Amino acid sequence: VSSEDDATPWLSPEELSAWMGFSAMLLTMPTAIDAQLKRDAGMNLFEYTVLAGLSEIESRCTRMANLAALSAGSPSRLSHAVARLERQGWLERRPQPEGAPRSTDVYLTDAGFDALKAAAPGHVREVRRLVLDGLTSAQIGQLGRISRQLLDISAPETAALIERRRTLGN
């Protein structure tokens, strides 16, 4: 669809080839990952990420804004998801009366922790099947690095949290 004389920085053949593969993968991978989680554990990847993020905090509790950064979601997306998870009894919200403006603390319940523990093995197997098994260990490293660099542009707070966690001990 490109014309000849314009200021648009059209993609080179190499760039176009990479983008066509990447965008097709973006269109299919989330669906594939969600399908297994939904079928076997009644949650999607975003909800799993929310539960998993909370489970790694000693207190199993944090504020909505921090949880949004941890799980790479917008405030609105997180609010809707937390409402669903709360209905399942997997989470509890407790508005903090102090501070200005008021924040909301979210707690992972025991039932939520159990649901996460039950979901994890199947999810990990699917991640292996759909992602890791198809790549060499060098490519796994490349994919991680590339993903973190991209996150740094479109979700810098999430990128910073992931980088922090990665650099420490693990």
- Non-local CB neighbours of 25 within 8 Å, separated by 6+ positions: none
Q: Is 96 in the site for a second copy (CB under 8 A)?
A: no
Min CB(156)–a second copy separation in Å: 11
What are the backbone dihedrals phi and psi of residue 9, each rounded to the nearest 5 degrees, phi first? -80, 70
Phi (first) and psi of residue 5, to 5 degrees? -110, 80
Question: What 8-state DSSP symbol labels residue 134?
Answer: G
Residues that bind DNA (CB under 7 A): 31, 34-35, 38-39, 44, 46-47, 63-65, 68, 73-84, 93, 100-104
Q: Does 59 bind a second copy (CB under 8 A)?
A: no
Shortest approach of DNA to residue 105 CB, angstroms? 7
DSSP state of 61: E
Answer for which of 65, 83, 111, 124 binds a second copy (CB under 8 A) is: 124
The residue (of 35 and 111) whose beta carbon lies closer to DNA is: 35
Query: Which range touches a second copy (CB under 8 A), out of 57-65, 66-74, 83-91, 93-101?
Result: 66-74
Nearest to 53 by CA among 115, 14, 129, 108: 108
